[in-house]
Chain A
Amino acid sequence: MSQSQMQMQSESVGTARVFSDSETPMVELRGVTRRFAKKLDIAAKLARRLGASVKEEIVHAVDGVDLRVRKGEVVGLVGESGCGKSTLGRIVAGILPQSEGQVLWNGQDVAGMQGEAAKIGKLRRQMIFQDPYASLNPRMRVADIVGEAPLVHGLTTRANFDSYVDEQMRRAGLDPAFKRRYPHQFSGGQRQRIGIARALAVAPEFIVCDEAVAALDVSIQAQILNLFMKLRTDLDLTYLFISHDLGVVEHLSDRVVIMYLGRVVEEAPTERVFTAANHPYTQSLLNSVPRIGNRKRAFATVKGEIPSPLNPPPGCHFHPRCPHAFARCSVEVPKLREIAPGQRSACHLNDAA
């Protein structure tokens, strides 16, 4: 990256963007729920006929989530394993249907869109996956991985195919001379660049990054994160950035959404989350994160384990581990309420105050 590019980038990223509540969000989720059920096999059905108490096991991976992402915004989605963040990401990207609720694209319900509009709506939302080894077809050449979708969707023609692919690869920081190669000939960081080139080849406006840098070494991770920020300004992209790494999320995001066992527990502008977290879960999460500035100190701990999503605790899902839990927490599910401008939290403690 040249010096001037670097400067340009830091300037444009540095200026705080103002987002108003009144504008129509690019992506909006309303009460989205996703259940996964394990169907009963014949033996279990028979046992139930005979009066045994066999029930279908249902996981509420995502449980009534509202989410708004406005144009140009980078929203970080944070949570531990099994909290439903990847499922939510897939629903937003349109590759997994929701069980209940609505997904809106620029104010229009995706379910109600027909024909060309539905196709374009879907193309504009792309996803970049965690594992750069599993997400690329090992039997396809890079040129075909990147160029197949735009060719099918008429974004390029057979005649212009090569130059189109070259441009996509260059934009993702890959040498177009490598386009005849197969994925196994690339390192992890380069493969992630192939994944990025593939997502960008269909000219999306919205990108879901699902743990896109989690599998990479720090020095390579920094290269990819810088690429994300550059592409954001160059192509005016909007990101939903899913990660368990709070450092990465803090670095990239304008706003952070924190999930715990399928529900959003807090959302706020990034500054606010890291300086004035409201929900006890967010606070303990922040305390648990090892930071390079911390020296030889006692690690703060949250008691207990993440409960199984098969059988989540009643009321507030966090109450068995919460240091401030009281009687009401185990009975009533707290609502996500605004507690400060732009900051919403789902905790009964806020009612007492």
Chain B
Amino acid sequence: MADSLNPATAAAPTLEVRNLQTHFFTRGGVVRAVDDVSFTIGRGKVLGLVGESGSGKTVTGFSIMGLVDAPGRIVGGSILFQGNDLAKLSEEEMRHLRGNRIAMIFQDPMMTLNPVLRIDTQMIETVLAHEKVSEDEARARSRDALGMVGIPSPDERLKSYPHQFSGGMRQRVAIAIALLHRPDLIVADEPTTALDVTIQGQILAEVQKLCATTGTAMLWITHDLSVVAGLADDIAVMYAGRVVEHGDVGEVLDAPLHPYTHGLIGSVPSRNKRGEPLRQIPGMTPSLLNLPEGCSFRARCPRAQADCVVMPELKPWLPGRLARCHHPHLEEVVAA
């Protein structure tokens, strides 16, 4: 595998995260929010990063963007973006990439938008921050970006303030801003969670179209398995700061290897389980401050055995299917 500081080679995936560790040094102790996370995203691909609250999925996204603030710090691993390690870049170098080659979309679009500035001011500023173009050209680019995400009459809407948009429209503006420099990678953190289903459907359709046409790779962070099922190519499931399963989205959802993924899919109410009690995962997510020794899912796992006190490695059990488990659901995969 090509090692760091190579210029973008065609072979290198857009993003390769290797053994990433981001810890928070709090008064209560060290919180291992992200502990040994690895995954890759190829050009034009969508990776769904799934997990429940506190599993470390947002911190993973922030680590890639270089947005982790004190008391948090990246303490180990590498984040290879087109072959270059982002974790080693200076703040100045990172600023050239952020918003330019790598962009982020947040759950709450008001985190991206300044409420007292008009949309055009904010968008033109973003264009000029990374490129020397005339203001007219920057304006034209902003208008095109708004059109691309399906905002009607973009010329007039450029002159509006964020509060004049609905929630769905604001999120479209945030996506348009992320797209201004045609980035190679977009990190999207629960961007449709706060939206109504019909609006969510519209945004997902736009995003899918954009990834296919522009070749932008996307890290889609969400807690919603159903969204990932329709949108992503690959899926990585996180639990207590670690990736526990990684593979093709269809294969993982059809026949999950890790008992946690298995339990999570069983918990989703859907058509064929109507009226029956849902399969539930007992207990609750452990505190990241004092994780049990060994596999962190051990205490809730129906398949746990004595050897689970040793932390399992994330390793391939089948071609392209990784799981961090000593006793994965292999028999069901073979049967399927």
Contacts and interface: CB of A to CB of B under 8 A. Distances in A.
Interface of A: 1, 6, 9-10, 13-14, 80-81, 187-189, 217-223, 225-226, 229-230, 244, 246-248, 250-252, 270, 274, 284-285, 287-302, 305-306
27 contacts: A13-B277, A80-B197, A188-B53, A218-B223, A219-B263, A219-B267, A219-B280, A219-B281, A219-B284, A223-B280, A225-B278, A250-B269, A250-B270, A251-B274, A251-B278, A252-B269, A270-B274, A288-B197, A289-B226, A292-B253, A294-B230, A295-B229, A295-B249, A299-B230, A299-B231, A306-B166, A306-B198
A14 B277 CA distance: 10
Given A225-B278, A293-B271, A299-B230, 9 more contacts: A1-B277, A218-B268, A222-B266, A226-B277, A251-B274, A288-B200, A289-B201, A292-B253, A296-B232
Contacts of B197: 80, 244, 246, 285, 288-290
Nearest to B195: A81
A294 B201 CA distance: 13
B279 interface: yes
Interface string B251-290: 0010000000001111111110111111111001100000
Contacts, number: 152
The 5 closest A-B pairs by CB, nearest first: A251-B269, A288-B201, A222-B267, A290-B226, A217-B52
B51 to A, nearest CB: 9
A306 B204 contact: no
Contact of A297 (B198, B202, B230, B266): B230
A289 B227 CA distance: 9
Given A217-B223, A248-B269, A296 B250 contact: yes
A296 B233 CA distance: 7
Nearest to A82: B196
Contacts of A189: 284
A130 to B, nearest CB: 14
A91 to B, nearest CB: 22
A290 B227 contact: yes
B205 A290 contact: no
Nearest to A274: B271
Interface of A is mostly: helix
Interface of B: 52-53, 166, 168-169, 196-202, 204-205, 208, 223-227, 229-233, 249-250, 253, 263-271, 273-281, 284-285
Contact of A292 (B232, B270, B280): B270
B267 A247 contact: no
Contacts of B223: 217-218
Contacts of B270: 247, 250-251, 291-293
A287 B205 contact: no
A218 B284 CA distance: 11
B277 A292 contact: no
A311 B278 CA distance: 41
In this complex, which of A244, A251, A302 has the most chain B Cβ atoms within 10 angstroms of its Cβ?
A251
Contacts of A9: 277
B230 A6 contact: no
Nearest to A230: B277
A270 B265 CA distance: 22
Contacts of A270: 274
Contacts of A6: 277
Contacts of A225: 269, 278
A238 B87 CA distance: 56
In this complex, which of A229, A274, A290, A297 has the most chain B Cβ atoms within 10 angstroms of its Cβ?
A290
